[in-house]
Chains A and B, each alone.
Chain A
Amino acid sequence: GAVVSQHPSRVICKSGTSVKIECRSLDFQATTMFWYRQFPKQSLMLMATSNEGSKATYEQGVEKDKFLINHASLTLSTLTVTSAHPEDSSFYICSARGPSGGPTDTQYFGPGTRLTVL
C-alpha cells in the first residue's frame, strides 16, 4: 500500500522558534496533501489542504502566516510553525491523497509529529 512518511517524529523547541515538519509520499505522487492537528483524546482537525504548485487552502480559524505550507513537489509538503508558542504543542499529522484523483480516493496518513513547545 501507499506509504507516507513524516519527519521529525518528535520535536521539542523553545517558545519563539520556528519548526519545520516534512511530509513525503514515498511510492506515489500526491497532487494534494492535507495537514491535521490532533489534541489529546480528540479527533483530527483539518488545518489546510496543500496542492502542488499552488497556495494552500486554510480552514477557518487557522492562521496562514503562522502555519506556512509549501508543496513544492509531487512527493513533498512541508509545514512550518512560525514563532511557536506552548499552545501550538500538538500532534501534527499529514496525509496524501491517492493517485487517481477520483472521489473515492483514500487519504494515506503519515505517522505524525509530536511538537512540544517549552
Chain B
Amino acid sequence: KNQVEQSPQSLIILEGKNCTLQCNYTVSPFSNLRWYKQDTGRGPVSLTIMTFSENTKSNGRYTATLDADTKQSSLHITASQLSDSASYICVVSALVPYKYIFGTGTRLKVLA
C-alpha cells in the first residue's frame, strides 16, 4: 500500500534555531518527492522537488535530502523565522498512475 508518514506531528522551536522534519514512504513505482509548505487557511506551496537520482536540494533556508534506498527524506530549516510557522507536507508521486500521495504533515510553530 502506498503510504507517506511524517514525523514529528508537531514541533515548537525558538526563532533562529534549526530543525529537521522527517518523511518515510512506501510508494512504488516512485517518481519524485516534494516538500510543500502550507500556511493556515491557504493552499500548499512547493518548496523542493527531488527525483530518484537526487540526494539533496536547497531552496534558501530549506534543504531537502532524499535516500531512495531507505525511502526516507528530510527537510532541514536553517535559522528559523516566525514566518516559517506552517504545516510542512511531504508528497510522493507514484509514476503510474500519476498520483500524489500526501503525508499527514508536520505542524511547525516558531516562537519569538
Interface residue total, chain B, C-beta cutoff 8 A: 23
Once bound together, how far apart are the Cα atoms of A45 and B99, in whole Å?
12
Chain B residue nearest to A114 (CB atoms) is B41
With a CB–CB cut-off of 8 A, which chain A residues contact B105?
43
Q: How many A-B residue pairs have CB under 8 A?
A: 48
Chain A residue nearest to B10 (CB atoms) is A41
For window 78-101 of B, CB contacts with A under 8 Å fall at 89, 93, 95, 98-100
Chain A residue nearest to B9 (CB atoms) is A41
With a CB–CB cut-off of 8 A, which chain B residues contact A95?
43
One of A60-68, A69-77, A100-108 at the interface:
A100-108
Chain B, residues 21-54, CB within 8 Å of chain A (1/0): the string is 0000000000110101000011111100101000
Chain B, residues 46-78, CB within 8 Å of chain A (1/0): the string is 100101000000000000000000000000000
A residues adjacent to B (C-beta < 8 A):
4, 6, 34, 41-46, 91, 93, 95, 97, 103-112, 114
